[in-house]
Amino acid sequence: MAGVESYVERPPLPGLAGVVRTVWIQRTGEAAYVQRHLPTGGVEIHFPIGGRPQLVGPLTGPEVEVIPAHTTIVGVRFHPGTAPPLPTVLDDLVDQRVGLADLWGSLEDRLVEAIARAATPERALMFLQAHLLQEFRTAVRVDPLVGEAVQALMPWRPLNIDTLANHLALSASQLRRRCLHAVGMSPKVLQRTLRFQGFLALAQAGATPTGRLGADGTAGLAIDAGYADQAHLSRECLRLTGLTPSQLLGLNPSQPLGGTVDRCMCGHDHSASYKPFLATRRQPLRV
């Protein structure tokens, strides 16, 4: 509908599925839109059509952005440990926004021109993905050990960091250094970030808690995601988002969570983003 803010996620092109978590198109309406960006463990490209694109480095806390009215943005969210070609390691970009012109030079100018000429936002997003696909085929190298570490640190697989390092035949300090370079954060910080993303994935899917420890609602999903209890989740949620779980999800504190939530407070549907995330869960999702 004209004049109304919208946000549509979708899976990436098949050739990017191993490095890109999701892509999206966001349109603002007659008024500016306040967007709260949350840590995901990965980097993002935000490309306003007719404007200058930015790379959003790995976040360790919330970033609040005011998007001007009548703006259309195509975006790409990468898996942790993957990123477009960059002249620096990711721990230099933590909690930063950097213009792609500073990273890609004249290539950014050509991309801006091509995106601006696209007839529709959908075509602009396809063009951006096609460019990234070519880059990953010819230039970008992903650290396979970091990729294995990311999978092991998913919330459904609680794991001691020293045990993970031994499994990868690395010292704890070597694993930390490689994660800082390739992800932008230590293995422990990444593990906490992925655990919170696991909780959000369960909430967005309207998952029914497994009932472990007799917990239900928010507390049950917190335990399923790997938290000790609901208080543990609340502390981490405040740290990572600046909001309580109820505020983030737009719930009444007394409202049961399981089976009731398919949007975040902003009203956006993130199912495309969380579907591959949930696919790594060992237990089947009960809905």
Residue 122 lies in a domain: yes
Going by pLDDT thresholds of 50, 70 and 90, the confidence category of residue 205 is: confident
pLDDT of residue 284: 44
Instruction: Please write the tens of the pLDDT for every residue from 57-107.
Output: 999 999 999 999 999 999 999 999 999 888 889 999 999 999 998 888 888
Contact (CB, 8 A) for 206 and 221: no
Residue 29 lies in a domain: yes
Kindly report the pTM of this predicted structure: 0.89
pLDDT of residue 252: 52
Q: Which domain holds residue 69?
A: 6-139
Contact (CB, 8 A) for 23 and 77: yes
Residue 42 lies in a domain: yes
Residue 218 lies in a domain: no
> Is the pLDDT reported for residue 253 higher than 60?
no
> Is the pLDDT reported for residue 286 higher than 60?
no
Determine what percent of the chain is predicted with pLDDT higher than 90. 61
Residue 33 lies in a domain: yes
Residue 199 lies in a domain: no
Residue 56 lies in a domain: yes
> Is the pLDDT reported for residue 126 higher than 90?
yes
User: What's the domain count of the chain?
Assistant: 1
As a whole number, the mean pLDDT across the chain is: 87
What gap in Å lies between CA 188 and CA 193, rounded to an integer?
Answer: 9
Task: Give 191 or 141, the one with higher predicted confidence.
Answer: 191
Residue 20 lies in a domain: yes
Three-state SS letters, 124-163: HHHHHHHHHHHHHHHCCCCCHHHHHHHHHCCCCCCCCHHH
pLDDT of residue 256: 44
pLDDT of residue 282: 59
